[in-house]
A and B are shown apart, each in its own frame.
Chain A
Amino acid sequence: GAVVSQHPSRVICKSGTSVKIECRSLDFQATTMFWYRQFPKQSLMLMATSNEGSKATYEQGVEKDKFLINHASLTLSTLTVTSAHPEDSSFYICSAGRVDYGYTFGSGTRLTVV
């Protein structure tokens, strides 16, 4: 089956710094990837749709300048949390796939901003 690799699994950063999270599709080409955020004991909240070779599409209320998405190849999308603050601490998960074939998710990244 499809495999999506996400790194790092955990990251701790100082307030004001930037953090990059990588999402790779290992065995298929992903023209579209999705980035989610999950708060404790809550479901996934879609942040943005990452499109290969073009700009990401952000959901309402998500700051595109805060959460920079780059999808430069068919196997890699990155999410950069810029000027991170403690309120950005969360669990971030990526997914890739197609609506007709179903979606595969990465293992998630636990971001802690101190």
Chain B
Amino acid sequence: KQEVTQIPAALSVPEGENLVLNCSFTDSAIYNLQWFRQDPGKGLTSLLLIQSSQREQTSGRLNASLDKSSGRSTLYIAASQPGDSATYLCAHGSSNTGKLIFGQGTTLQVKP
């Protein structure tokens, strides 16, 4: 069974800190990995998409890395802000089915 695990489940940090969210997966044949943000009661917003052939992607204060061989991805958030408070979900695209396999998410709270 393909699984995606996100650690930690919840994180609370003071404003301005740099932080790392972790995502691990068991499927060695992932197509790509996508990081999403979800605000309470809202849909998902795509943050970064890393293809299996890539090592990292950057967008503003966000940087996502992918180590396919070890089954890990990290989302780095620089200089965190209260507006970054949300649940962050990672998901990988399955090469076999085309479906997204989701982790359980990390709920981030950035305190002013």
Contact = CB atoms under 8 A, between A and B. Distances in A.
B98 interface: yes
B83 interface: no
Main secondary structure, interface of B, reads strand
Contacts of A54: none
Nearest to A93: B43
Given A93-B43, A105-B44, A107-B43, A43 B32 contact: no
Nearest to B101: A46
Size range of the chain A interface in the assembly: 20 to 34
A46 B42 contact: no
Interface residues of A, dominant DSSP: strand
Contacts of A108: 41-43
A34 to B, nearest CB: 7
B81 interface: no
B59 to A, nearest CB: 12
Interface pairs A-B: 4 shortest CB-CB: A105-B44, A102-B49, A99-B93, A107-B43
Given A6-B43, A99-B95, A105-B45, 19 more contacts: A1-B46, A34-B99, A43-B104, A43-B105, A46-B99, A46-B100, A49-B99, A91-B41, A95-B100, A99-B32, A100-B93, A102-B32, A102-B34, A102-B93, A104-B46, A105-B44, A105-B46, A107-B43, A108-B41
9 contacts: A34-B100, A42-B104, A43-B102, A91-B41, A95-B100, A99-B31, A99-B94, A102-B34, A102-B46
